Amino acid sequence: MTVRVLLVDDDPLVLSGLRMLLAGDPDIDVVAEASDGDLVAAEVANAHPDVVLMDIRMPRVDGIAALRQVRSGPEPHPAVIMLTTFGAEPVVLDALRAGASGFLLKHTPPDRLIAAIHAAAAGEATVSPTVLRQLIAQVARGASPSREDPLTGLSERERDVALAVADGLGNAEIAERLYLSVGSVKAHISSALTKLGLDNRVQLAIAAHESRG
């Protein structure tokens, strides 16, 4: 299935570079581009992208505000991956809380960026390992100490998958590490989220990090 992508960045050189990079994947079609956040909702309505790849910092309307506009619009909503040069800022949490499907640094290797787009189109959240480590550290600084293992109640295999999620691995990479099918990885993640009362894999990654101590 071809993934329809909307590119959003106020830098024309970045837009051009992303367009050229994604042109190398026959299963990705860049259907529209926008130069600022205030144009995103209209482009989503016109082009019906599956995934929006969007800079988080733009001069008129930033990526988080644009994301909120998209999420408040008519369904189905596209998956939104935030792309930025900054990784350690509180905006990471803001973007994820606003409903971002992923958060990647602009220097993310091309193969990982393309994989993230396909993962987002399939309903998976993707956060680059660098950003995930910073996010975990940021959350951990504000967390109160707990004696209970946050992963209590998970099976051994669910725990293994959760720890791999904390390492920033995607489903295919977890499957390869643990010798599982991608379908089994998805099932273990879904089961772990249900058992722990969590909403997404970023929360699962944080819990796994806390479990490691």
pLDDT, tens only, 16-66: 999 999 999 999 999 999 999 999 999 999 999 999 999 988 999 999 999
Question: Are both 176 and 120 inside the same structural domain?
Answer: no
pLDDT value of position 20? 93
Do 123 and 166 lie in one domain? The reply is no
- Specify the number of domains making up the chain: 2
The residue segments making up the domain with residue 169 are: 145-212
Task: Please give the angle made by the CA atoms of 60, 61 and 62, to the nearest 5 degrees.
Answer: 120
The predicted pLDDT at position 87 comes to 58
Q: Are residues 104 and 189 in the same domain?
A: no
DSSP string, the chain: -PEEEEEE-S-HHHHHHHHHHHTT-TTEEEEEEESSGGGHHHHHHHH--SEEEEES--SSS-HHHHHHHHHHSSSSPPEEEEEES--SSTHHHHHHHTT-SEEEETT--HHHHHHHHHHHHTT--EE-HHHHHHHHHHHHHTPPP-SS-TTTT--HHHHHHHHHHHTT--HHHHHHHHT--HHHHHHHHHHHHHHHT-SSHHHHHHHHHHHH-
pTM: 0.74
Mean predicted confidence (pLDDT) in 67-77? 89
Quickly state the pLDDT bin for 141 (edges 50, 70, 90). Answer: low
pLDDT at 213: 63
pLDDT at 33: 96
| Structure confidence by residue, pLDDT tens digits, 85-102 | 765 556 777 777 778 888
Whether residues 91 and 172 fall in one domain: no
